[in-house]
Amino acid sequence: MPKPDDAAWAKILWKKQPFSDNYVPQNLFLSSLRRNTNFKPYTYWPVVLLSCAITQHISTIFIFLATFVRLRERLLDPRTLVLISVACFVAGYTVWSWLDVAMISKADRNANHLKALKSSILIFFALMSLSPVLRTLTAATSSDSIWALSAVLFILNALLADYSVHDGQVHERLTSVLSMNAAISASVVLASRLTTDVAVFALVLFSVQAFALFPMLRHRLQASTTAVQCSLTLGLALTALSLTAPLSWTVTCIFFMTLVSVTFLAPACLVWAQKFKNEIRGPWDVAVPKVN
């Protein structure tokens, strides 16, 4: 064997080279290895801002639960809740159509308004006529099972919800549909623990607001300015805390800890863990075909 010399070595198989088969060219070996090529390090505050969506969602769940407890304990008149729901809907819809102004023509906007009005009236009456059925739906089931079931469903809802940012056209994914269904089912089984039809109607109407319509609005607001995001998050979190606090001190503590860890601790962990990132790329990777 001649003296190993990297300059004479070529990365080819078709020609017999004057090197043994286990010769490793020190300078050329793994020369095409790339580490962390597509790696964009996260910084702390933008991640905190992105986590706001999760905070908002968890806050919504707790607002809903606090409302349910108040209805069950008869601390809240169901008719007031219906009024609040309608007010929320009107406010939310105003914001929604205000966001639409820039994107959609006037004729389309009017058609959309009519459609929205029609479907909201439809849902309103459908829920109203269904509420006696929903009230007795799980009469044969013990309350313990209902609490466990609704807890599982709400956890599923929070895990599967779509927290991504997208503007304009919402592309529904299977997970976000499942998430919404889990939340509505959870509220239906909870509603079945209430005693009057009006209360059931009020709670389910509120759940449609909170878990079907609000996430859609949230997606669009997420694309807007930081100030809007922060104030919305803060507003929701404070509302949830103030509604939970009078009911149970323990739950409020747990809820507060959850919010802090999701918003501030988890992003810090992510930023810290980035230093372990070691993405290896090389000629053996499956290429991504570029098609026009």
Residues near other proteins (CB under 8 A): 11-16, 21-22, 24, 29-30, 32-33, 279-280, 282-292
Per DSSP, the three-state class of 52 is: helix
Say which amino acid occupies 233: T
Closest to other proteins by CB, 98 or 284: 284
Smallest distance from other proteins to CB 69, Å = 42
- Closer CB to other proteins, 227 or 291, in the complex: 291
CB 283 within 8 A of CB 291: no
Cα angle, residue 174 at apex, residues 204 and 201 outer, rounded to 5°: 5
Q: Which residues contact 279 (CB under 8 A, 6 or more apart)?
A: 35, 36, 37, 38, 39
Kindly report each contact of residues 43-48 with a partner whose C-beta sits within 8 Å and lies 24 or more positions away, as own/partner: 43/271, 44/267, 44/268, 44/271, 47/267, 47/270, 47/271, 48/263, 48/264, 48/267
End-to-end C-alpha distance for the chain, whole angstroms: 50
Q: Rounded to an integer, what distance in angstroms lies between the CA atom of residue 185 and that of residue 137?
A: 12
Residue 10 vs 151, nearer CB to other proteins: 10
Rounded to an integer, what distance in angstroms lies between the CA atom of residue 177 and that of residue 162?
A: 9
Least distance in angstroms from the C-beta of 5 to other proteins: 17
Q: How far is the CB of 229 from other proteins (least distance, A)?
A: 32
The region that residue 30 occupies, defined by phi over 0 for left and psi between -120 and 50 for alpha, beta otherwise, is left
Q: Which is nearer to other proteins, 7 or 140 (CB)?
A: 7
The three-state secondary structure class of 235 is helix
Do the beta carbons of residue 271 and residue 43 sit within 8 Å? yes
We find the least distance from the C-beta atom of residue 28 to other proteins, in angstroms, to be 9
Please identify, using beta-carbon distances, which residue of 38 and 142 lies nearer to other proteins.
38
Shortest distance (Å) from residue 30 CB to other proteins: 5
Reported residue count of the chain is 292
Structure tokens at 112: 């959309």
CB of 35 to other proteins, least distance (A): 11
Please give the radius of gyration of the chain, using alpha carbons only, rounded to the nearest integer: 28
Minimum distance between the CB of residue 38 and other proteins, rounded to whole angstroms?
11
User: Of the two residues 29 and 249, which places its CB atom closer to other proteins in the complex?
Assistant: 29
Least distance (Å) between residue 3 CB and other proteins? 16
CB closer to other proteins out of 7 and 107: 7
Q: Toward other proteins, which CB reaches closer, 73 or 285?
A: 285
